[in-house]
Amino acid sequence: MAKTFKIIPIASSAAQAPVFAQAPDTSWHKAGRGSLPYLADIMQRPLRDLRISVTDRCNLRCTYCMPREIFDKDHPFLPRAELLNFEEIERLARSFIQLGVQKIRLTGGEPLLRRGIERLIEELAALNTLEGKPVEVALTTNAVLLAQKAQSLKDAGLARVTVSLDGLTDETFRRMSDSDVPVKTVLDGIAAAQRVGLAPVKVNMVVKRGVNDHEIIPMAGHFRNSGTVLRFIEFMDVGCTNGWRMDDVVPSREILEQIDSRYPIRQVDPNYTGEVAERWHYADGSGEVGVIASVTQAFCHECTRARLSTDGKLYTCLFANSGADLRGPLRAGATDEALSNLITGAWRLRFDRYSQLRHAATGLPRQKIEMSYIGG
Ligand code: SAM
Ligand code: SF4
Ligand code: SF4
């Protein structure tokens, strides 16, 4: 159904005035902003989610994300002084929340490598949305360090974790992550997260044809009846280093057909508008499974995510090639209003819809930012 929004200016200073739209009686409602005015981009998409990359480093070298030949010991990772510190992250997060953000996801790189991440979570979890509800703070992790950190993350106020796991055998995991970490380490991390109540744990599996697609059914079988939600992600052409080819993508339809032929499934409604995963339930009641069809069924029209890179740049799309610097003004003493205006300005001009244009765009040279830096 087509969405219609009435644009109403609510700010007084004309030059910098944010474009706000009044959320009418549409499905955006379910996303929880009620009838509050909200900041809208050119395609009328509100700003609801903020992904913060807290480090550009990682303890794995997934071939689709940080191929070892590029991310080797000579790779220029950001020096410490370039990283936003926790006070800076919190200050920017407050600005984003004032403009409508309701959920914050900490990511990277591997977020559990950032020392003292619990302190940041504590600060962020104490913030309230415009509606006065606590901001939901979640985290995406490879779970290598999750078993030892699950309790302290929960105690700090983390709401949920998403764990990335691309196969159940050590051999497949090694092929995908280019590491000798045993799968058991990740499974132990998932179990610890469930035990402390970081639930429901979501498990993301990136599927690459000919590399780990033989693990689709074993993964579905393993995570049914476990209380976790497994989601299959189409391999994406993020960044410029992962050698992406359309032939390596296993379309979500194909994944769903495979699962359905072994474990019958039926589709269920999204939890909220803009949810990226398509949700399915096993017909026998053994839980939920999902697909994220970012390549074959782009969901740009509902994309409400902003990304804050490790060094404080605002990106309005995962496939952006440039971002608005927030760290410079922040460190130069910008007021809250000035920071808010910078974010507003970037969001107002947002016209990103890379995934919808991918097939026209992939033949063209484009310098895209790596996912480990921008935040997956
Ligand atoms: N290190 C953490 C992890 O792996 O969960 C957080 C950062 S990682 C960049 C976030 C998510 O992006 C992971 O689920 C990962 O599988 C996914 N990802 C990375 N590169 C991808 C690609 N080329 N296509 C699809 N998903 C990708
Ligand atoms: Fe690291 Fe996550 Fe990228 Fe894998 S997907 S290399 S775990 S940042
Ligand atoms: Fe959002 Fe960009 Fe992904 Fe489209 S391609 S869903 S605009 S991040």
Percent helix, strand, coil in the chain (nearest 5)?
Answer: 35, 20, 50
Which ligand has the minimum distance to the alpha carbon of residue 292? 1
How much is the pLDDT for 25? 36
Residue type, 131: E
Task: Give domain status of residue 278, yes or no.
Answer: yes
Q: Measuring from atom 3 of ligand 2, which residue has the nearest CA? A: 65
How much is the pLDDT for 358? 75
Task: Give domain status of residue 181, yes or no.
Answer: yes
CA of 376 to the centre of ligand 2 (A): 9
Q: How far apart are CA 174 and CA 274, in angstroms?
A: 33
CA of 354 to the centre of ligand 3 (A): 6
* Total number of domains in the chain: 1
How much is the pLDDT for 28? 44
CA of 205 to the centre of ligand 2 (A): 12
Question: Residue 71 to residues 75, 98, 236: CA-CA distances in angstroms?
Answer: 5, 36, 18
For ligand 2, whether the C-beta of 265 sits within 6 Å is: no
CA of 65 to the centre of ligand 2 (A): 6
Q: Which domain holds residue 304?
A: 24-374
Q: How far apart are CA 45 and CA 305, in angstroms?
A: 9
- In the three-class reduction of DSSP (H, G, I as helix; E, B as strand; rest coil), residue 124 is classed as helix
Residue type, 177: S
Which among 324, 292, 370 has a CA at the least distance from the CA of 58? Answer: 370
How much is the pLDDT for 327? 98
For residues 325 and 310, is the Cβ–Cβ distance under 8 A? no
Task: Give domain status of residue 18, yes or no.
Answer: no
For ligand 1, whether the C-beta of 371 sits within 6 Å is: yes
Sheet bearing 20-22, strands edge to edge: 6-7, 20-22, 37-39
Domain at 149, CATH number: 3.20.20.70
For ligand 2, whether the C-beta of 242 sits within 6 Å is: no
How much is the pLDDT for 27? 43
CA of 293 to the centre of ligand 3 (A): 12
Q: Measuring from atom 2 of ligand 3, which residue has the nearest CA? A: 317
For ligand 1, mutation pick of 140, 175, 213 (most atoms within 8 Å of CB): 140
How much is the pLDDT for 47? 97
How much is the pLDDT for 12? 31
Task: Give domain status of residue 9, yes or no.
Answer: no
pTM, 2 dp: 0.90
Task: Give domain status of residue 6, yes or no.
Answer: no
Element (H, E) at 49: strand 49-53
How much is the pLDDT for 20? 53
Contact residues for 326 (Cβ-Cβ < 8 A; gap 6+): 92, 308, 312, 313, 314, 339, 342, 343
Task: Give domain status of residue 119, yes or no.
Answer: yes
For ligand 2, mutation pick of 141, 183, 372 (most atoms within 8 Å of CB): 372
How much is the pLDDT for 102? 96
Whether the link from the prior residue into 200 is cis, omega within 30° of 0, is yes
For ligand 2, whether the C-beta of 164 sits within 6 Å is: yes
How much is the pLDDT for 10? 28
How much is the pLDDT for 234? 96
Task: Give domain status of residue 10, yes or no.
Answer: no
Task: Give domain status of residue 5, yes or no.
Answer: no
Angle (CA) 126-129-135 rounded to 5° is: 45
For ligand 1, whether the C-beta of 108 sits within 6 Å is: yes
pLDDT, mean of each 10-residue run, the chain (376 residues): 31 39 44 62 95 98 94 94 98 97 97 98 97 97 98 98 98 97 98 96 98 98 97 90 88 97 96 87 97 90 95 94 96 97 96 78 63 74
